[in-house]
Amino acid sequence: MNYINDLKKVVEINSYTKNRDGVNIVGEIFDDWFKDLGFSIDIYKRDDIGHHRHYRSPTIQNTPKLLLLGHIDTVFPPGKFEYFIEDEAWVYGPGVCDMKGGNIVLLEALREVKKNGYSIHNIDVLFVSDEETGSDDSKYLTSELAKEYDYCFVYEAAGQNLELVTGRKGVGTFFIDIEGKAAHAGNHYSEGHDANLELSYKLQALVKLTDLEKGTTVNVGKIEGGIGANTISPHATMTFELRYKVSKERDRVLGAIEEIVNHAYVAGTSALLSGGIQRDVMQTSQDSLKLLENIEKITQERIASEERGGVSDANIVSSCGVVTLDGFGPYGDGDHTVKERALKSSFESRIEMSRKLFEYFIKNLKF
């Protein structure tokens, strides 16, 4: 289990998304490891965040290609959560499951493939540096590179029963700025146009768009407005999130949001909408279910699957038409908290599963 030492090496380096230097140091370590496996490296340099890294193996032209997808950034700034410890069953530290642990799984599986005498080809790796803040920069790169691939395995953490992920909700973040008119609440009440009151009507209308049976939720997570108790509010803002399981629901809610924003419930107020869809839905498809079935045949294992409400970069690649499965990393919990941990035994099983899949793909260039 020497790979645990590799995991320790990258976990102990702070790679908070906005810690550009730390992210790049982690990336440079992976560069050396992938060079040892014969991969070439395309580095997409960025000024404000860490560089994105695309590791390419030799390709047999006009044959299917597999993309392995991960990210090297984590969520805690320097000084908040920076250690790696282990006991008999678990490893603990920032990124052990989300998702430096997943990156180590795919790396170690590729090492095993090479040790077994296979020449690695038609399998590439993409590590982005800003997934934890929404992939606002890398999503354009990921979408462009996705056009080259037929399949994608994403190495976010596995489920508790080592499930693979066939679907993830789409997510959008939106902002509404409401303008009213200030007036003295005692002397000139009727002359004001209450932005706070307008916000309250819009909030209720937005929340009513939720349809739990269809997996659609609208959550107004933050509101601000007004000046003080004696002043009619001249301005108010809200931040809300949309999550959805199917494209039809996305379109329904987006249309309704436009109507809510454009309708003034309180005379004299106006509203402006900004934001949008951050990652589109990753819908479970016949192709993804067929791929899952083939993986079971290749590995000769029964593999559980699930859909998740949370998003990942799997959403981006799937939305580009690439047959995508997620959850190839180790099982862990406590991600995004100082209690993050990953189960050691799950590394073993995930590395072995990936090794079998990579060797099959190299021999057959299909799943």
Position 1 scores a pLDDT of 75
3-state secondary structure the chain: CCHHHHHHHHHCCCCECCCHHHHHHHHHHHHHHHHHCCCEEEEECCCCCCCEEEEECCCCCCCCCEEEEEECCECCCCCCCCCCEECCCEEECCCCCCCHHHHHHHHHHHHHHHHCCCCCCCEEEEEECCHHHCCCCHHHHHHHHHCCCCEEEECCCECCCCCEEEEECEEEEEEEEEECECEECCCCHHHCECHHHHHHHHHHHHHCCCEHHHCEEEEEEEEEECCCCCEECCEEEEEEEEEECCHHHHHHHHHHHHHHHHCCCCCCCEEEEEEEEEECCECCCHHHHHHHHHHHHHHCCCCCEEEECCCCCHHHHHHCCCEEEECCCCEEECCCCCCCEEEHHHHHHHHHHHHHHHHHHHHHCCC
The pLDDT of residue 56 is: 98
Note down pLDDT in tens along the chain; length 367 residues: 799 999 999 999 999 999 999 999 999 999 999 999 999 999 999 999 999 999 999 999 999 999 999 999 999 999 999 999 999 999 999 999 999 999 999 999 999 999 999 999 999 999 999 999 999 999 999 999 999 999 999 999 999 999 999 999 999 999 999 999 999 999 999 999 999 999 999 999 999 999 999 999 999 999 999 999 999 999 999 999 999 999 999 999 999 999 999 999 999 999 999 999 999 999 999 999 999 999 999 999 999 999 999 999 999 999 999 999 999 999 999 999 999 999 999 999 999 999 999 999 999 999 9
Domains of the chain, earliest start first: 3-169+282-364 (3.40.630.10), 170-279 (3.30.70.360)
